[in-house]
Copies of this chain bind each other. A is one copy, B any other.
Amino acid sequence: MKHYLSIHDLPSIKATVNEAIELKKDPLRFNHLGKHKTIGLLFFNNSLRTRLSTQKAALNLGMEPIVMNFGAEGWQLEFEDGTIMDQGKSEHVKEAAEVISQYCDVIAIRAFAGLEDKAKDESEEVLSAFVKYATVPILNMESSVGHPLQALADAITIEEHKPAKKKLKVVLSWAPHPKALPHAVGNSFAEMALAHEDDFEVVITHPKGYELDPEKTKGARIEYDQKKAFEGADFIYTKNWSSYKNYGQVACEDRSWMITADKMEVTDQAKFMHCLPVRRNVVVADEVINSEQSIVIKQANNRTFSAQVVLKKMLENL
């Protein structure tokens, strides 16, 4: 594994999950692995968990994190080839990526979907350009279409909290939100869950019009009746996203899709999961997120260990 762009870059998700759970017992065990190595964390968008947990993971491995808020602190980047750069952008990503590769042993990037141009978002403009031009491993800290560090943390969390059952029912449920949000978390969760086909029955539920990219959800059961989807579930993973078909539009903002206690009651004592930040009483009712079934805080804790296990693999490969 050189880059970590999608969960499929892992040689084995299961083995990686187990390795992360081992790391968590002794987070400083590989503290010498990253000595005198720097990781550049480049933020094109805001961040709390990713910002802090990726730094923590790097520190646990003995690395030196260097954080840069790209828009505010650096230069506007040009991504097109052959442009006459006489407008607002003062540096081409080719130079930026090659140059940063000389100062940092790993480059981590957060660059959200703009939700205005589907083709542009699907091309992973920022992430792909760094993969193309950088000469060091690239770590995806949430891109236009994926959030694989989150998905790996989710897999770790499910492994830690799963009931003793032959097959788990794992439900990804859309929930309402006042703003149009990207598909990255939903996509990556679906990909991760579907990669567990022997162990998980994967159900995705949302109002009509909120179908995710069918490429990412192949093999999942799509169920438009939320309550029916929840029946007997072991994990309810909630996230809002905007329409994929009418790209970036808010098709409906149906508040009845909020996760409530009565919906959780039809599950098999399912654990409630969300990547955070979450809008209380819009996405999920207080009664659910405050309940014992909610494991969102533990899930956030696993962000450190998903980043750490991935960085460990990168360092071992340098």
Chain A positions near chain B (C-beta within 8 angstroms): 28, 31, 36, 38, 40, 43, 46-49, 51-53, 55-56, 59-60, 64, 66, 68-69, 72-75, 78, 81-87, 90-92, 95-96, 98-100, 102-104, 178, 276-282, 286, 296-297, 300-301, 304
Contacts and interface: CB of A to CB of B under 8 A. Distances in A.
Contact of A74 (B51, B72, B279): B51
Nearest to A43: B73
A59 B64 contact: yes
A304 B104 CA distance: 11
Nearest to A253: B86
Given A38-B56, A48-B73, A85-B281, 18 more contacts: A38-B59, A40-B52, A46-B74, A48-B68, A48-B75, A48-B91, A51-B68, A52-B100, A55-B103, A56-B66, A78-B280, A82-B281, A83-B281, A86-B279, A91-B278, A91-B279, A98-B297, A99-B301
Nearest to A65: B66
A301 to B, nearest CB: 4
21 contacts: A28-B36, A40-B52, A48-B68, A48-B91, A48-B96, A51-B68, A52-B100, A56-B66, A59-B64, A69-B72, A82-B281, A82-B286, A83-B280, A85-B279, A86-B279, A91-B276, A95-B276, A95-B278, A99-B276, A99-B297, A102-B301
Contacts of A55: 38, 66, 103
Given A86-B178, A95-B276, A281-B85, A75 B46 contact: yes
Given A46-B74, A75-B46, A99-B276, A86 B297 contact: no
A79 to B, nearest CB: 12
A103 B43 CA distance: 19
Nearest to A276: B95
Contacts of A279: 85-86, 90-91
A51 B78 contact: no
Contacts of A52: 40, 66, 68, 100, 103-104
A38 B95 CA distance: 30
A57 to B, nearest CB: 9
> Shortest 10 CB-CB distances between A and B: which pairs?
A91-B277, A85-B279, A102-B301, A48-B74, A52-B103, A84-B281, A99-B300, A56-B103, A86-B178, A90-B277
Nearest to A258: B84
B103 A304 contact: yes
Contacts of A102: 297, 300-301, 304
Given A59-B38, A282-B86, A48 B99 contact: yes
A72 B72 contact: yes
A208 to B, nearest CB: 22
A36 B46 contact: no
A276 B91 CA distance: 8
Interface centre among A49, A87, A90, A103 (most CB of B within 10 A): A103
A281 B85 CA distance: 6
